[in-house]
Amino acid sequence: MPAENRVTIAGSEKPPIANAQLTGPVPADQTVTATIVLRRRGGHPAIAVDSATAMPHVREEYGVTHGADPADVQSIEAFAHEHNLTVVDRDPARRIVKVSGTADAIQSAFGTQLQEHKVGAATFRTRAGALSVPAAVHPAILAVLGLDNRPIAKPHFRRSKKQASPAATPAGTFTPAQLAKLYNFPSGVTGAGQTVAIIELGGGYRTADLKAYFSSLHIKEPKISAVGVDGGINKPGGDADGEVMLDIEVVGAIAPGAKIAVYFAPNTDQGFHDAISKAAHDPVRKPSVISISWGAPEEAWTAQARDAMNAALQDAAAMGVTVTAAAGDDGSTDGVSDGKQHVDFPSASPFLLACGGTKLTDSGTKIPNEQVWNELAKSEGSTGGGVSNFFPIPDYQKSAGVPRNVDTGFAGRGVPDICGDADPETGYIVRVNGKTEVIGGTSAVAPLWAALAALLNQQLGHPIGFVNPKLYALPGASFFDIVTGNNGAYKAGAKWDACTGLGSPNGVAIGQGLAGTAASAAGAPVS
């Protein structure tokens, strides 16, 4: 197709990589695989963010109604063939077509130049500028992911300086089960019948460690499986193992009856999107909950990647899957050193439950003091939180008192929605690579709330699903309100705030409130 008939893909612009050594162009014969994300069939919205009573779609039916139009899939396949690319996968329900070819063919197909940059000891494939495609297929394409494979996200966990051992655990730290009791999680349920998906972009777990950990807690070891996405595998041996083990052990200790499926993907925009999309649509494991503990500042993503990720999260919400995500561990700047405030993505998506962090003390049976986690003065992290610059405020937050963005004045989505213990000094006792240690961070709060969701799903007899609108409608007593502390630019206060959201969970009260919401929606009396 002639060059003059090409159209730029909106939001695909990527700045040149900074602070890296250019080593040269990508070898012309190097194989590159890209995920082409397509528009929804008919342009139908998947679910309204203000719909507290929306009924979830059945997975199999949703893919037919809101998947890719077969005509769009056919046009992309024809485009791939004309540019010497091979279609290696197609999934209309997930609205993706994966194509593979030489770097030369990929560059020609998408109007870009691929280069290699060295950052430290690692070399990455990079690109700069915008992507383009022939005008005939342009309308069908939402995003093209995977051409640039530099890491996109980091895990939001923090190791404590306190030393732990199997025989002695530091004062003021907790097992996940102890936290579940303090937060009044429902008893008599184990998450049976549920599958919790955990998204991981690196690291791995060792079965022997998990057996030893759950045995030490006298908890039956949950059923755990590893799911590979885009070549990702369970590969223990690096620092990210702390994240993987934390996520599994928190979910497994609180909801041991739930199955746990760990979706391993490369740490790229392609891998992150494809892992979430795979988990949301998985017809075999059928997760009812997804936990995400990785992220990056909103501005680190291209607009097309944010849009594609948000669409995948919208799919999950539409199919009744509860998604939890860590809000970040670097305060209101999210670790960006430009003097402005930033929120983390994907926690900024309106289709998930963004999880902030607190510092927690207890008296053995109750919580006497819980405040915003902020150890920035010690360079030991703080909960993320603030106001999005890209996602407008959803209807369910319009009465919550979300302020405008302090830098831009944008009326954006407020982060987080809720919170939980995250300070590593009051953190979670876990086992990683043969050692007992204490880990915190908002990445611990995401699996904490994911485990609560699994318990409530079993207790209520149905998935709580896209729970955000329902939570914002609950009485204040459903949460332990956090009114002390700040995360930099934002302060805690009564009700919702941009540090700890609505508060930490009062699990039983939340279950009762959700049961009442469901009964009201069905026209039945609330017991």
Residues with catalytic function? 243, 247, 443
Comparing CA positions, the residue from 363, 30, 310, 437 lying closest to residue 172 is: 363
**477 SS3 class:** helix
Measured CA to CA, the distance from residue 373 to residue 382 in angstroms comes to 5
3-state helix, strand, coil in the chain (%, to 5): 30, 25, 45
Measured CA to CA, the distance from residue 332 to residue 267 in angstroms comes to 24
**Structure token pair of residue 379:** 């360079």
Measured CA to CA, the distance from residue 384 to residue 177 in angstroms comes to 25
Measured CA to CA, the distance from residue 400 to residue 496 in angstroms comes to 6
Comparing CA positions, the residue from 399, 409, 372, 413 lying closest to residue 499 is: 372
**Structure token pair of residue 505:** 């969970």
Tell the residue number behind the tokens 């963005």, with chain if given. 405
Q: What is the DSSP string of 64-84?
A: HHHS--HHHHHHHHHHHHHTT
176 in Cβ contact with 219 (< 8 Å): no
Q: How many residues are listed for the chain in this entry?
A: 527
Greatest alpha-carbon pair distance for the chain in Å reads 72
Measured CA to CA, the distance from residue 109 to residue 33 in angstroms comes to 12
Measured CA to CA, the distance from residue 350 to residue 485 in angstroms comes to 25
134 in Cβ contact with 36 (< 8 Å): no
Measured CA to CA, the distance from residue 138 to residue 130 in angstroms comes to 13
For residue 292, report the phi and psi dihedrals to the nearest 5 degrees: -125, 125
Residues 6+ apart with CB under 8 A from 522: none
Comparing CA positions, the residue from 481, 511, 487, 484 lying closest to residue 499 is: 487
